[in-house]
């Protein structure tokens, strides 16, 4: 084998290897193998000195030609591979301005909060302002000032969530706090706070969260919302209350909603009434949500008890008032035909996403 043959073989092999190389690293390796310090071509060029003097010029010239040719070919191959790479990246990263946008997840208001917002708007139209109070209350505000005496069943441990006396839980013998701190069982204490803070005429609603130690079933939760209303003024009567509640029912459930007043009992109102709406879940036939009665009580109401007026700083000989309390949870169930209150607070997205917005 002559040096000339070796040169041709190296050039042929190199061209094939270059065509077969699929990435820049492979081409770099090839460059090193051929043209590096101990590369095949470099080594061959060093052997030129062993050739007979008359052969050296021709073989030397040929070797340099091949070297330049391979250098150019390697450069071109690298450029071609770089472009292929770029095309591949462009294909995956290109921005298609005509493509539809990605759906953004947007939250929405919970149906119970929507109901409370609607109530605020309805009452706002009748001149009521929102008055808020604390969720952690005292027994005095939650019970005594509202004419609920210490022996009233509502004050039983089983109905009220008492805050524990400091240290009693750690000692293994939980006791109700001696300062009478409780989780409010209704928003009525806010009415007392409003009476003590405001001058007549008073027209407020007191939306908020309440807590009771209660067995959870299709109609009850241990945590629930209330919206109570209070009016204190001169010449206020039960007729004003009735007219107001019927307007509210129509605003919420439509002009055709069936309503009824029933006698009721609350310690803080006299007389007291229950305000019912025809069950919209079953249409009046009876179902678990209405306890098979065909009616749902959405409101308790009455004329403010004289003792409560006095506790609030008003002379019952001069002022009267009416008060009402409603359950937005139950009203939301009526609005949407929901048969079980527990699903409202289940945090189940299959339920929640039905009320608008994204998931």
Instruction: Give the binding site for Zn ion (CB under 5 A).
Output: 279, 281-282, 287, 290
Both tokens assigned to 60: 């030397």
Which residue lies nearer to Zn ion by CB, 232 or 277?
Answer: 277
- Specify the residue, 252 or 279, whose C-beta has the smaller distance to Zn ion: 279
- The CB-of-336 to Zn ion minimum distance in angstroms stands at 14
Tell me how far, at minimum, the Cβ of 333 lies from Zn ion, in Å: 10
Please report how close the Cβ of residue 295 comes to Zn ion at its closest, in angstroms: 8
Assign 3-class secondary structure to 276-314.
Answer: EEECCCCCCCCCHHHCCCCEEEEEEEEEECHHHHHHCCC
Nearer to Zn ion, 282 or 298 (CB): 282
Give the Cα separation of 132 and 315 in Å (integer).
Answer: 24
Pull the structure tokens for residue 345: 């607070």
Write down the least CB distance from residue 288 to Zn ion, Å: 8
Q: Rounded CA gap, 311 and 305, in Å?
A: 10
Compare residues 120 and 220 and give the one whose CB is closer to Zn ion: 220
The count of other CB atoms within 10 Å of the CB of residue 246 is 14
Task: Supply the minimum distance, in Å, between the C-beta of residue 297 and Zn ion.
Answer: 12
Cβ proximity to Zn ion, 119 vs 281, nearer residue: 281
């Amino acid at each position: 084998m002559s040096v000339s043959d070796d040169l041709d073989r190296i050039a042929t092999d190199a061209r094939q290897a270059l065509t077969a190389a699929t990435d820049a690293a492979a081409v770099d390796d090839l460059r090193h193998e051929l043209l590096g310090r101990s590369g095949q071509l470099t080594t061959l060029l060093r052997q030129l000195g062993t050739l007979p003097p008359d052969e050296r010029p021709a073989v030397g010239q040929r070797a340099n030609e091949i070297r330049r040719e391979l250098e150019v070919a390697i450069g071109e191959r690298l450029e071609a591979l770089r472009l292929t790479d770029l095309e591949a990246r462009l294909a995956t990263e290109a921005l298609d301005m005509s493509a539809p946008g990605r759906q953004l997840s947007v939250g929405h208001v919970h149906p119970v909060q929507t109901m409370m917002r609607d109530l605020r708007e309805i009452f706002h139209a009748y001149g009521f302002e929102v008055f808020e109070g604390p969720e952690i209350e005292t027994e005095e505000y939650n019970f005594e000032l509202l004419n609920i005496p210490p022996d009233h069943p509502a004050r039983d441990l089983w109905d009220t969530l008492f805050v524990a006396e400091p240290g009693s839980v750690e000692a293994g013998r939980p006791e109700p706090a001696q300062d009478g701190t409780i989780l409010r069982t209704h928003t009525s204490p806010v009415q007392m706070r409003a009476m003590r803070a405001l001058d007549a005429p008073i027209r407020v609603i007191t939306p908020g969260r309440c807590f009771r130690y209660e067995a959870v079933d299709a109609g009850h939760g241990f945590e629930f919302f209330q919206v109570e209303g209070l009016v204190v003024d001169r010449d206020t009567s039960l007729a004003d209350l009735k007219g107001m509640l019927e307007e509210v029912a129509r605003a919420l459930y439509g002009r055709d909603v069936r309503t009824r007043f029933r006698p009721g009992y609350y310690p803080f109102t006299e007389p007291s009434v229950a305000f019912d709406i025809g069950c919209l879940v079953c249409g009046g036939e009876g179902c678990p949500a209405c306890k098979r009665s065909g009616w749902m009580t959405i409101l308790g109401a009455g004329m403010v008890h004289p003792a409560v007026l006095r506790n609030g700083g008003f002379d019952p000989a001069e002022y009267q008032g009416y008060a009402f309390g409603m359950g937005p949870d139950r009203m939301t169930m009526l609005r949407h035909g929901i048969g079980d209150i527990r699903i409202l607070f289940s945090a189940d997205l299959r339920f929640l996403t039905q009320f608008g917005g994204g998931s």
